[in-house]
Chain A
């Protein structure tokens, strides 16, 4: 799947900004910067991975800047970023 640079989300409190770029090497590489990293970093990474994998994105560089977003927000932002990056509109299909 071809990946272009794409962004979704904001840096507002309670939100997460997801930046997706083409993979430099195989696999999903998540660079996470989170205000709640100590308690939720592991879970945030898992949600990002799950969401991308579920959309068929297996190789990408992901920069995630999190301001305490909940899982539903993270899924929405990752989905939006992935749709923009891949051009595959999951909401249409």
Chain B
């Protein structure tokens, strides 16, 4: 039995015993140069072929990320194709939806889309849904809540359609491209990562099919089933939507100075602190003052989390912030930075903000957040407008508020005639139990849960006011708003990041 030919009978009987086939030796090997060979890879498909091969059926759940924000082209492209192919009854599990997704209205009317889960809704689609367009309520989750729900399987995705600015034939995908043919850039791909890991089938849609190996990659080939090359996945110029402009609005500057004082005197402004800030005018301006104080006092931050912006990148490059952890690059500079800065790391939404030990928010010292409205119990609404129409996003608001040592919500007392400090928020998005400080241009309110914090701020010379005073002041200026004309149909469900039902949004009547 020294020859394998002699052992063939034994091989056959062992194979039979193991319930396996006998090796047939019919391997066809290609001698083609691998640069050309890889481009004929079995994962490369047209969008239609990828949809057919994915096994997508009526009634299934498809997912999308929103890293191109208002410039996204993937959702409309894919759902348009699905409609054309005759699919019905699909549920869209998007990380967020915005103005640009108004074409979904027709797909909902035609029965192509019958369910939506998302972090946010804006524009016409939000308006229609607020008036009762969808039979089933939209399910709203925070970014961390969604990441966690995808990872645990609570939010099951049948097929994920994930836009990427580069992808190789094996499926290694990234939010930027190093090739000469780069057409788009979105930076971090954090909201796509859990979907890529957990969806039954993953289709990468890219506008730059690059050579293997496309590293470093955000999404791994192991998780990818199909790669589709298209003309454009998104308009990168619409990522930042002007968020990076330094504000000249005097009220925003005042709010920023006050927020910076809370940061600097709140007790956590020590060497090695961690911080997250939003992309709003006041939040960005606050970073400027924080930076000055860091330089003056010789304090360095361990990491900044985000939603990374150009300001954070600058401070990282200056050596003031050691590391950047980025789930979603908020502007072009941040998107470029993740490509060039070694210590600027992209993370998945679960790693960013889920309830799991070790998510980045878990070790966050301070966060500056904005709000549509806050109430006397420190509850925050960032989702439903003062006219009762959905017009925002849950985002990472409840995640960062809940997990940080010090959460600061910056909110003007009024916007025009709309009071922003109210008796009760229209929709409960971030529970007051997780909000520590509310900064308005008429004063700073500290949650009664945090008397030690109020004491520290008072000692630093800041005037602390009762949140009820702020609410009364707002109503004195603009009058008490009449109740909104809500109907009795539930059009939205707001889930807490732990998966429990926290609030519902009713349809708005004319």
* Chain A interface (Cβ < 8 Å from any Cβ of B): 13-14, 35-43, 67-71
With an 8 A cutoff between CB atoms, is B487 at the interface?
Answer: no
Report the separation of the CA atoms of residues A71 and B416 in the bound assembly, to the nearest whole angstrom.
11
Report the separation of the CA atoms of residues A43 and B386 in the bound assembly, to the nearest whole angstrom.
16
Contacts of B417 in A (CB 8 A): 14, 36, 40, 68-70
CB distance from A63 to the nearest CB of B (A): 19
Q: A39-B484, A42-B482 are in contact. Are A14 and B416 (CB under 8 A)?
A: yes
Contacts of A37 in B (CB 8 A): 387
Report the separation of the CA atoms of residues A38 and B388 in the bound assembly, to the nearest whole angstrom.
9
Report the separation of the CA atoms of residues A68 and B417 in the bound assembly, to the nearest whole angstrom.
5
Classify chain B's interface size.
Answer: 10 to 19
Report the separation of the CA atoms of residues A79 and B484 in the bound assembly, to the nearest whole angstrom.
29
* Chain B interface (Cβ < 8 Å from any Cβ of A): 386-388, 415-418, 477-479, 481-482, 484-485, 508
Contacts of B482 in A (CB 8 A): 38-43
- Find A39's partner among B386, B415, B477 (CB 8 Å cutoff): B386
Contacts of B415 in A (CB 8 A): 68
**Can you name the residue of chain A whose Cβ is closest to the Cβ of B387?**
A38
Question: B485 and A36: CB pair below 8 A?
Answer: no
Question: B416 and A36: CB pair below 8 A?
Answer: yes
Contacts of B479 in A (CB 8 A): 40, 43, 71
CB distance from A35 to the nearest CB of B (A): 8
CB distance from B461 to the nearest CB of A (A): 32
- 10 A-B pairs closest in CB distance: A68-B416, A39-B481, A68-B417, A36-B417, A38-B387, A14-B416, A43-B479, A39-B482, A38-B484, A70-B417
Contacts of A38 in B (CB 8 A): 386-388, 482, 484-485, 508
CB distance from B281 to the nearest CB of A (A): 16
Contacts of A69 in B (CB 8 A): 416-417
Question: B477 and A70: CB pair below 8 A?
Answer: yes
Q: Beyond A14-B416, A43-B482, list 4 extra A-B contacts (CB 8 Å).
A: A35-B416, A36-B416, A39-B484, A69-B417
CB distance from B29 to the nearest CB of A (A): 70
